[in-house]
């Protein structure tokens, strides 16, 4: 019996798939996979699972495609209550590590270490943990998209690869003014998105002993600049100003509609841009502008993990190991247009499944950004103990500074206090 894809925001605990056929209930391995897609990742994995199921009589995987917000907010609640799925595609990699199934007893650990290297540490609870918990299916890098048609219409030169944030802001303002475009720039409402530019500005995020600090001079200075851009109209105000708390908000639709000259988001938006923009205008990936310390975005992405509460740990490992096989991983990367985290696949190159010159150029541009990533950015992404709290603190306190509820100095003081409380709670 083939699995089926179930769409919607319903909890994975409601997805029970009856297994029929000759294998019988005694041999049924009914797995539930909660998945969220930026593009077509879940659909492609769902399709590829047909082959695995055909080779394993009685194995059935129900793929529940949910909104990303459900992965951020609903899935952790389900896991804490013991009602979660068997498999999940997650982005809070280390933050949910207490719920992960260790795949090491069921897979070739040497292969996994060679293939996924340092990414394995992102899923571990701490530096002493040597388990294998997740396959990084979707390596992402934060960076920007520029509407090159608007630059051409305005007769403004696109800044160089090593241009600063100030140079990009000046150019985007000039283009917007000359073309009547509503907003020069926008950035996703996300602490992860703020992190790269702050690191480029000199934010260290950790002290010399490796303890999280978040706020320092480099971080504060970038926040000052970011708030200033909202005050003078450089940044689209609705992205950060219309949502409350730590709610994520992007500005992809506004960029797609030609309302933004320069949009800072990330590589996961590439397929969406190409599919939605079509021939409406030309665009290109420009990476992350430079600060005095670095020209670094943030690495990130999503991975497929097993949940240790599963009744079928070996079957869960079989599913994830299937996607980790080199040929299968290369197929997944090619069909989903994602930057590979698998060492051999990355070295051999990916024949991306697209006829679009725009997408191919964009993926080459994203791949070129990997070598520019700061070690601080890698450390931050892998700091599962507190990085989710740090991202959320960033969003909440910067938003208060943007709305005038707090000054920047007050917001940074509150952020420091917030982190101290989060650190204490994590240590309990």
Same domain, 51 and 124: yes
Supply the pLDDT for residue 20. Answer: 35
Considering 289, 315, 348, which residue would you say is the last residue of a domain? Answer: 348
Same domain, 185 and 80: no
pLDDT band at 27 (very low <50, low <70, confident <90, very high): low
Same domain, 295 and 321: no
Number of domains in the chain: 2
Same domain, 342 and 402: no
Supply the pLDDT for residue 385. Answer: 85
Average pLDDT of the residues in 410-428: 93
pTM assigned to the model: 0.80
pLDDT tens per residue, range 165-210:
999 999 999 999 999 999 999 999 999 999 999 999 999 999 999 9
Supply the pLDDT for residue 12. Answer: 35
Supply the pLDDT for residue 412. Answer: 98
Supply the pLDDT for residue 242. Answer: 77
Considering 319, 348, 377, which residue would you say is the last residue of a domain? Answer: 348
Supply the pLDDT for residue 5. Answer: 52
Considering 281, 314, 348, which residue would you say is the last residue of a domain? Answer: 348
pLDDT tens per residue, range 239-261:
998 777 899 999 999 999 999 99
pLDDT tens per residue, range 54-79:
999 999 999 999 999 999 999 999 99
Same domain, 89 and 233: no
Supply the pLDDT for residue 282. Answer: 95
pLDDT band at 371 (very low <50, low <70, confident <90, very high): confident
Same domain, 197 and 295: yes
Could you tell me the residue range of the domain that residue 327 belongs to? 29-139+301-348
Residue 3 within any structural domain of the chain: no
Residue 11 within any structural domain of the chain: no
Is residue 18 over pLDDT 50? Answer: no
Same domain, 167 and 210: yes
Is residue 7 over pLDDT 70? Answer: no
Residue 123 within any structural domain of the chain: yes
Same domain, 291 and 316: no
Average pLDDT of the residues in 358-385: 90
Percent of the chain with pLDDT over 70: 93
Residue 23 within any structural domain of the chain: no
- The gap from C-alpha 158 to its chain's centroid, in whole angstroms, comes to 27
Average pLDDT of the residues in 31-35: 98
Is residue 28 over pLDDT 90? Answer: no
Average pLDDT of the residues in 83-112: 96
Residue 237 within any structural domain of the chain: yes
Supply the pLDDT for residue 428. Answer: 61
pLDDT band at 14 (very low <50, low <70, confident <90, very high): very low
Supply the pLDDT for residue 135. Answer: 97
Residue 353 within any structural domain of the chain: no
Q: What is the CATH number of the domain that holds 395?
A: 3.40.190.10
Same domain, 82 and 151: no
pLDDT tens per residue, range 306-350:
999 999 999 999 999 999 999 999 999 999 989 999 999 988 989
Average pLDDT of the residues in 102-119: 95
Same domain, 275 and 411: yes
Percent of the chain with pLDDT over 90: 79
Same domain, 73 and 188: no
Same domain, 165 and 188: yes
Is residue 219 over pLDDT 90? Answer: yes
- Kindly report the average pLDDT of the chain as a whole number: 91
Average pLDDT of the residues in 405-411: 97
């Amino acid at each position: 019996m083939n699995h089926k894809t179930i769409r919607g925001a319903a909890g994975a605990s409601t997805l029970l798939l009856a297994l029929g056929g000759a294998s019988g209930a005694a041999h049924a391995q009914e797995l539930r996979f909660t998945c969220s897609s930026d593009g077509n990742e879940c659909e492609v994995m769902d399709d590829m699972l047909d082959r695995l199921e055909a080779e394993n009589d009685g194995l059935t995987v129900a793929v529940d495609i949910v909104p990303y917000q459900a992965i951020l907010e609903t899935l952790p609640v389900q896991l804490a209550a013991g009602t979660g799925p068997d498999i999940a595609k997650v982005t809070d990699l280390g933050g949910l590590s207490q719920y992960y199934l260790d795949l090491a007893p069921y897979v070739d650990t040497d292969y996994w270490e060679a293939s996924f290297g340092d990414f394995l540490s992102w899923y571990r609870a701490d530096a002493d943990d040597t388990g294998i918990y997740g396959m990084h299916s979707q390596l992402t890098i934060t960076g920007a998209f520029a509407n090159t048609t608007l630059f051409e219409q305005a007769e403004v030169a696109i800044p160089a690869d090593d241009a600063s944030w100030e140079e990009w802001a000046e150019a985007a303002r000039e283009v917007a003014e000359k073309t009547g475009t509503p907003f020069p720039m926008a950035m996703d409402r996300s602490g992860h998105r703020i992190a790269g530019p702050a690191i480029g500005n000199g934010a260290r995020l950790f002290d010399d002993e490796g303890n999280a600090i978040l706020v320092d001079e480099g971080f504060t200075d970038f926040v000052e600049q970011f708030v200033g851009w909202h005050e003078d109209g450089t940044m689209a105000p609705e992205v950060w100003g219309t949502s409350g708390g730590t709610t994520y908000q992007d500005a992809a639709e506004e960029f797609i509609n030609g309302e933004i000259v320069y949009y800072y988001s990330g590589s996961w938006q590439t397929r969406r841009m190409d599919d939605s923009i079509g021939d409406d205008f030309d665009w290109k990936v420009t990476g992350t502008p430079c600060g005095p310390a670095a020209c670094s975005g943030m690495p990130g992405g999503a991975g497929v993990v097993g949940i240790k509460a599963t009744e079928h740990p070996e079957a869960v490992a079989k599913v994830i190991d299937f996607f980790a096989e080199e040929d299968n991983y290369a197929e997944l990367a090619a069909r989903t247009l994602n930057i590979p985290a698998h060492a051999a696949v990355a070295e051999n190159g990916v024949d991306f499944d697209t006829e679009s010159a725009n997408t191919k150029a964009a993926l080459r541009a994203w791949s070129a950004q990997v070598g520019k990533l700061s070690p601080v950015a890698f450390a931050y992404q892998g700091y599962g103990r507190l990085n989710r709290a740090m991202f959320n603190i960033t969003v909440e306190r910067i938003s208060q500074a943007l709305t005038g509820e707090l000054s920047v100095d007050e917001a940074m003081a509150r952020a420091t206090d917030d982190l101290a409380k989060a650190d204490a709670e994590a240590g309990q």
